[in-house]
Amino acid sequence: MPVAVATTTSRPRVLLLGESSGDDKADKSIRAIADTYTVPRGNLEEVAGYIASAVKEHGPFIAFGATWALGEKFPARFDESLLSPLFPGCKLLVTPGAGYEKTDVNYLTLNGCVYANSPFAVGQRTADGALLLTLAAMRGLTPQDNSMRIGNFADPSVRTLSHRSANIAIIGMGNIGLQLAQSLTAIGAPTQNIRYYNRRERVGCGYEWASSLDEIWKWAQVIVLTCPLTEHTRHLISRDALEKMRDSVIIVNVGRGPCIDEQALVDALDSGKVMRAALDVFENEPQAHPKLLTNPNVTLSPHYAANPDGMAPGMNAEVLENIIQFIQTGKPQTPVNLAEVAAAATPSA
């Protein structure tokens, strides 16, 4: 039987993917306030079956939280094919990590279910990785590494930029973007040399907001993508956008791969319009464009900016903390669609 029972009282019932979060304190905290049941991690088809069995035998559940473990199988998406047995009883879904393009938020909203992500633990680590990739690209680390590997020493043709003087733009001033900006400032990047683009200004963040992408393209020498994948950000870096950018621009992406048109980027690298790129994510993961693999001016990272070793306990604890806060207050700590669920529940005049 794929369901482990934690308690048997009349308290709220919660279903978790994964027997343990890896954080003992969080595991004890949620079990102190809710009847907690678990199903094993697995692929989408396996977990769909586990959920259906759990609901049939022990449901309904007020909340479902997915926890992650390095090296274990995990559902490819969170949509009707996985979640339908949970409704109408489930009022909260929480998944690990910041991105949620694999979660059908509209489906959840239609079913009166609040969705929350868990961006903080993974965000801090991803910001650290973004800083590493940005500095590596600005200093030309990869072409110099390649130069030494073919028997030369320094390649004097490799141009560099200093983070203390270059214009650096961050696309997406969320948790990751803000922490990256603060890290750059901490190592000497002037505040006035960092600008960001969001659809809305992040008031009080301490950095200058650019109200349009065209403003960013004209100004920036280095562009770092930390944004999620949405209908607005797919191919945000397009052929047209690249043509508007400054010559010899550097592009870094730790957001989502499809935010960049990879063929357009390859062509811009070949022409020299883009001096270098550092990429942690790719348009068709786990494959990358073949020309990115052979270009010495591209630094590659296999979606490892967040340094997944040891990442799970903190990220999973956020999943459980969202559920705990939801049970205690009716609102998770990092809701994504709370306003939409509330609006859908309000009778029209």
Query: Averaged over 257-267, what is the pLDDT?
Result: 98
With respect to residue 305, please indicate whether it lies within any of the assigned structural domains. no
13 is catalytic: no
Q: What angle do CA 256, 259, 264 make, to 5 degrees?
A: 130
Over residues 188-208, the mean pLDDT reads: 96
Say which CATH number the domain at 64 has: 3.40.50.720
194 and 288 both lie in a single domain: yes
Of 174, 190, 167, 300, nearest in space to 245 by CA: 167
Give the pLDDT band of residue 269 (cuts 50, 70, 90). very high
**144 within some domain:** yes
pLDDT band at 281 (very low <50, low <70, confident <90, very high): very high
pTM for the model stands at 0.83
Strand order in the sheet with 194-197: 208-210, 194-197, 168-171, 222-225, 249-253, 274-279, 298-300
Confirm if 104 and 342 have CB atoms less than 8 A apart: no
Tokens representing 180 are 């990256």
Q: Which pLDDT does position 9 carry in this prediction?
A: 57
**In the prediction, which pLDDT does 3 show?**
47
- Distance, in Å, from the CA atom of 18 to the CA atom of 42, rounded to the nearest integer, reads 9
What is the predicted pLDDT for the residue at 73? 93
The catalytically annotated residue of 19, 234, 303, 340 is 303
- Looking at residues 267-279, what average pLDDT do you find? 98
Burial string for 204-223 (b: 16+ CB within 10 Å, else e) reads eeebeebeebeebbebbbbb
Q: Give residue 234's domain range.
A: 121-300
pLDDT tens-digit readout, 43-56:
999 999 999 999 99
To the query of whether residue 303 is one of the catalytic residues in this protein, the response is yes
Q: Cα–Cα distance between 171 and 81 in angstroms, integer? A: 33
Q: What confidence category does residue 4 fall into, taking pLDDT thresholds of 50, 70 and 90?
A: very low
Task: Please tell me the total count of domains within the chain.
Answer: 2
| 285 included as an active-site residue | yes
80 domain residue, yes or no: yes
Q: Could you tell me the pLDDT band of residue 2, with boundaries at 50, 70 and 90?
A: very low
Q: Specify the range with the lowest mean pLDDT, choosing from 161-165, 219-223, 301-305.
A: 301-305
From the candidates 41, 256, 276, 289, give the one annotated as an active-site residue.
Answer: 256
